[in-house]
Amino acid sequence: MAFDIEMIRGVYTKMSDTINKAREVVGKPLTLSEKILYNHLWDGAATRAFQRGKDYVDFAPDRIACQDATAQMALLQFMQAGKSKVAVPTTVHCDHLIQAKEGAAKDLKHANSVSSEVFNFLESVSNKYGIGFWKPGAGIIHQVVLENYAFPGGMMIGTDSHTVNAGGLGMVAIGVGGADAVDVMAGMAWELKFPKLIGVKLTGKLSGWTAPKDVILKVAEILTVKGGTGAIVEYFGPGAIAMSCTGKGTICNMGAEIGATTSTFGYDDSMDRYLRATDRADVADAANKVKAHLTADPEVYANPEDYFDQVIEINLSELGPLLNGPFTPDLSTEVGADMTKKANENDWPIKVEWGLIGSCTNSSYEDLSRASSIAQQALDKGLKMKAELGINPGSEQVRYTAERDGILGIFENLDAKIFTNACGPCIGQWARYSDPKNAPKNSIVHSFNRNFAKRADGNPNTHAFVASPELTAAIAVAGRLDFNPLKDKLINEDGQEVMFDEPTGWELPPKGFAVDDNGYLAPEADGRHVKVSVKEDSERLQLLTPFQPLGSTITGAKLLIKAFGKCTTDHISMAGPWLRFRGHLDNIANNTLIGAVNAFNQKTNFVKNQLTGDYGGVPDTARAYKAAGVKSIVVGDHNYGEGSSREHAAMQPRHLGVAAVIVKSFARIHETNLKKQGMLGLTFANESDYDLIQEDDTFNFLDLNEFAPDKQLTLEIVHSDASKDVIKLNHTYNDAQIAWYKEGSALNLIKKQNA
Ligand code: MIC
Ligand code: SF4
């Protein structure tokens, strides 16, 4: 059984009471986000209203989803928690570890052979602990979750930042680090700071070349990569209702790119249609009975300013297709003339070499069908592809259906490569170059969500732009970044001028979805006898050793690196080739912060070892400090740790002896990950104190023994000329989180409590 209808009915049954109670304590009509949050309180119905952006609240999520690259560390931790079964329905999805090279058949075979050790580990741990397992090739976690598990009004967490995709089906779905998932798997509450709420009113209607993707590209432009931090974005209005469910998923998916806790939409007909099309009529029926609880109260949508902390309005009828990039998902440019101008000014290569369609953001049946309508026109109008085209379908169900309906065949007639139903190039699993570091400057366009430097192909000179699938297809045909399909003509093979007509497509397959083997393996009812083995000498997997508490005195700590500018989780723990070590902490630690730019020399992976005066790589330098018994400190800029949920970005520095990460501001998931691993994640009380930090600095915490909620910490910075600065640091630790710090990690605390 893929989903649990009884569990869903249970969520709906208690809604009436909990929501009425919540309305009473809040004292006014409720947004959808509040309804879902208050219906999932760990302690049952609310007894008081929570302060948005302030109160830490315990929640009881309905589900957990993990993907192969993060599940390894999550499950290695869960195995230590001393439980025989997961407490909440959980699934593991194998999608990140499959490299795109020659096409699905060969690539999947290759992945199954090179990563068999990891896949077998995940499969056996899943079987042992009652976790549903989706095999390599079954699809991308978030597409599979939308098709099988997401349900209106539900709450889930997932060890991937794009878990938020399930907001397309009216969930509050939130990306977390593995240690957070372990809490819930172990039957404990999940803690979150009660989010702020941003309302986005969509008026007008999408048409022509404008797609749901353009809505979120626009929102990213307005809010920037950190504008959603700490907030749930709730979409509503006539434009929202008119959009498909998977289109809503695209919008929610990229909420991760603006740092939002999650995004969601009220229940409507598009969700009813999608549930029925994906064989869940019983969920649709149950949802229809509690419809009023699955959207905000009418007063909220009538006067949104009174209920949301911020309101944005976008008229879809006026929105045109956008291209966001390069190197950051919030830099948006309208197609055509604007792009010509900006590309010339900034020296972005106009020639486009690849168009890539797929990723969890845009790999639905509707996405493929709309892009294929452009591909079909290219064939009909005698146009030759100017760029190469690659496709990653979102799931085996989407792939099978799209193949049956001739959609994949259209792409193949254009010589497109159909890659595995997996993340592929989106996560750097793309064998594009043999030597990416020295590869030439070029542009690519893709329908993914992230376009940080080096992400897709490891080439720092690749300029990646994010667009809708249909625009990606058109640009791949034209081969130009500044191609405007609404206006520009192309010359076909016969020398004639031709133009594209508007894309068309199907929201859902007219003949219904079909699939032969969806790739799901149910766990045994009682898996206690299942053996999980990890080889001593494995280079892919390593059992964890508990972290030692850092203690209440940290003195004589050395600066490891002062990171300059953007420092995402890709800079802290790169993906691509390093994904192979996601289950082996010591091996993956060798990539720690190698992508971060050293503020003192603008170089990557080149920092001063204060003990020897020599310069070297970050991991080696950290290991040298650790070997000498010296703790180290990482300093960073704004939105440090933006991007992925990967807790490796916290565990690796922890493993290498970093005691504190001090920055101007954090991305939410990363900050929590640092806390979970028993480290100090702190922010400058005075942002400009960042400038005080020198290359040869030594740090002494002056009042760590008084570490307490809402109380600043004091740091003494000793410079090489013996002069000193004393600064204040802010933190957001509550009592429970300080207890994690004192025990050395949250996991140490769970183990202690279970013992
Ligand atoms: C990503 O898109 O960066 C990832 C890979 O899916 C990550 C998770 C990971 O690092 O494994 C994410 O978004 O959380
Ligand atoms: Fe996979 Fe890319 Fe989605 Fe992350 S963003 S889950 S790597 S497809």
Helix (H) or strand (E) holding 741: helix 735-743
- Mapping DSSP onto H, E and C, the string for 284-333 reads HHHHHHCHHHHCCCHHHHHCHHHCCCEEEEEEHHHCCCEEECCCCCCCEE
Q: How far is the CA of 96 from the centre of ligand 1 (A)?
A: 8
Task: Provide the pLDDT for residue 368.
Answer: 98
Residues 293 and 339 placed together within one structural domain of the fold: no
Active site residue 646: yes
Q: How far is the CA of 51 from the centre of ligand 2 (A)?
A: 33
Residues 310 and 366 placed together within one structural domain of the fold: no
Kindly state the percentage of the chain with pLDDT values over 90: 98
Of 642, 677, 643, nearest to 659 (Cα)?
Answer: 677
Give yes or no for residue 449 CB within 6 A of ligand 1.
no
Q: Judge if ipTM > 0.95.
A: yes
Contact assessment for residue 618 and residue 596, using Cβ atoms and an 8 Å cutoff: yes
Q: How far is the CA of 507 from the centre of ligand 2 (A)?
A: 22
- Residue where a domain terminates, one of 317, 341, 361: 317
Q: Does residue 342 fall inside a structural domain?
A: yes
For 677-721, the DSSP string reads TT-EEEEESSGGGGGG--TT-EEEESSGGG--TT--EEEEEE-TT
Task: Provide the pLDDT for residue 533.
Answer: 85
The best mutation among 143, 250, 419, 448 to test binding of ligand 2, ranked by most ligand atoms within 8 Å of the C-beta, falls on 448
Banded model confidence at residue 521, pLDDT cuts 50, 70, 90: very high
Q: Which atom of ligand 2 is nearest to the CA of 142?
A: 6
Q: Does residue 520 fall inside a structural domain?
A: no
What would the two tokens of residue 652 be? 């690796």
Closest residue CA from atom 4 of ligand 1: 644
**CATH number of the domain enclosing 703:** 3.20.19.10
Catalytic residue among 446, 455, 582, 646: 646
Q: Which atom of ligand 1 is nearest to the CA of 175?
A: 14
Q: Which atom of ligand 1 is nearest to the CA of 645?
A: 14
Average pLDDT, the chain: 97
Over residues 224-282, the pLDDT tens digits come to 999 999 999 999 999 999 999 999 999 999 999 999 999 999 999 999 999 999 999 99
Residues 401 and 287 placed together within one structural domain of the fold: no
Residues 586 and 695 placed together within one structural domain of the fold: yes
Active site residue 160: yes
299 pLDDT exceeds 80?
A: yes
Active site residue 644: yes
704 pLDDT exceeds 60?
A: yes
Give yes or no for residue 360 CB within 6 A of ligand 2.
yes
Task: Provide the pLDDT for residue 431.
Answer: 96
Q: Does residue 65 fall inside a structural domain?
A: yes
Task: Provide the pLDDT for residue 3.
Answer: 63
Task: Provide the pLDDT for residue 262.
Answer: 98
Q: Does residue 26 fall inside a structural domain?
A: yes
Q: Does residue 439 fall inside a structural domain?
A: yes
**Residue 614's domain spans which residues?**
557-754
The best mutation among 96, 430, 451 to test binding of ligand 1, ranked by most ligand atoms within 8 Å of the C-beta, falls on 96
Closest residue CA from atom 1 of ligand 1: 644
Q: Which atom of ligand 1 is nearest to the CA of 570?
A: 3
State the alpha helices, DSSP H only, in 92-211.
104-114, 116-129, 141-148, 178-185
Q: How far is the CA of 569 from the centre of ligand 2 (A)?
A: 14
Distance CA 683, CA 713 (A): 10
Catalytic residue among 62, 107, 160, 183: 160
Q: Which atom of ligand 1 is nearest to the CA of 161?
A: 14
Closest residue CA from atom 3 of ligand 1: 644
- Residue where a domain terminates, one of 317, 343, 366: 317
Banded model confidence at residue 57, pLDDT cuts 50, 70, 90: very high
Over residues 433-476, the pLDDT tens digits come to 999 999 999 999 999 999 999 999 999 999 999 999 999 999 99
Residues 331 and 287 placed together within one structural domain of the fold: no
Task: Provide the pLDDT for residue 197.
Answer: 98
Distance CA 751, CA 281 (A): 42
Closest residue CA from atom 7 of ligand 1: 644
Residues 336 and 312 placed together within one structural domain of the fold: no
Q: How far is the CA of 312 from the centre of ligand 1 (A)?
A: 28
Task: Provide the pLDDT for residue 558.
Answer: 98
Residues 297 and 402 placed together within one structural domain of the fold: no
Give yes or no for residue 93 CB within 6 A of ligand 2.
no
Q: How far is the CA of 159 from the centre of ligand 2 (A)?
A: 12
Active site residue 124: no
Over residues 469-508, the pLDDT tens digits come to 999 999 999 999 999 999 999 999 999 999 999 999 999 9
Residues 309 and 346 placed together within one structural domain of the fold: no
Banded model confidence at residue 1, pLDDT cuts 50, 70, 90: very low
80 pLDDT exceeds 80?
A: yes
Q: What is the dihedral of CA 179, 582, 66, 517, to 10 degrees?
A: -160
55 pLDDT exceeds 50?
A: yes
Q: Does residue 211 fall inside a structural domain?
A: yes
Active site residue 96: yes
What is the separation of C-alpha 453 from the centre of its chain, rounded to a whole number of angstroms?
16
Task: Provide the pLDDT for residue 755.
Answer: 79
Q: Which atom of ligand 2 is nearest to the CA of 256?
A: 5
- Residue where a domain terminates, one of 262, 294, 317: 317
**CATH number of the domain enclosing 211:** 3.30.499.10
Q: Does residue 131 fall inside a structural domain?
A: yes
| Tally of domains in the chain | 3
Task: Provide the pLDDT for residue 470.
Answer: 98
Catalytic residue among 40, 52, 93, 96: 96
The best mutation among 392, 449, 451, 466 to test binding of ligand 2, ranked by most ligand atoms within 8 Å of the C-beta, falls on 449
Residues 153 and 212 placed together within one structural domain of the fold: yes
The best mutation among 161, 164, 363, 446 to test binding of ligand 1, ranked by most ligand atoms within 8 Å of the C-beta, falls on 161
Distance CA 589, CA 622 (A): 10
Closest residue CA from atom 10 of ligand 1: 646
- pTM for the whole thing? 0.96
Banded model confidence at residue 584, pLDDT cuts 50, 70, 90: very high
For the segment 414-428, the average pLDDT, to the nearest whole number, is 97
The best mutation among 92, 162, 257 to test binding of ligand 1, ranked by most ligand atoms within 8 Å of the C-beta, falls on 162
Residues 110 and 125 placed together within one structural domain of the fold: yes
The single residue listed with the structure tokens 């690519």 is 444
Of 430, 443, 444, 437, nearest to 459 (Cα)?
Answer: 437
Residues 392 and 247 placed together within one structural domain of the fold: no
Q: Which atom of ligand 1 is nearest to the CA of 582?
A: 11
Catalytic residue among 263, 369, 644, 645: 644
Residues 390 and 273 placed together within one structural domain of the fold: no
Q: Does residue 546 fall inside a structural domain?
A: no
Return phi, psi of residue 285, to 5°: -60, -45
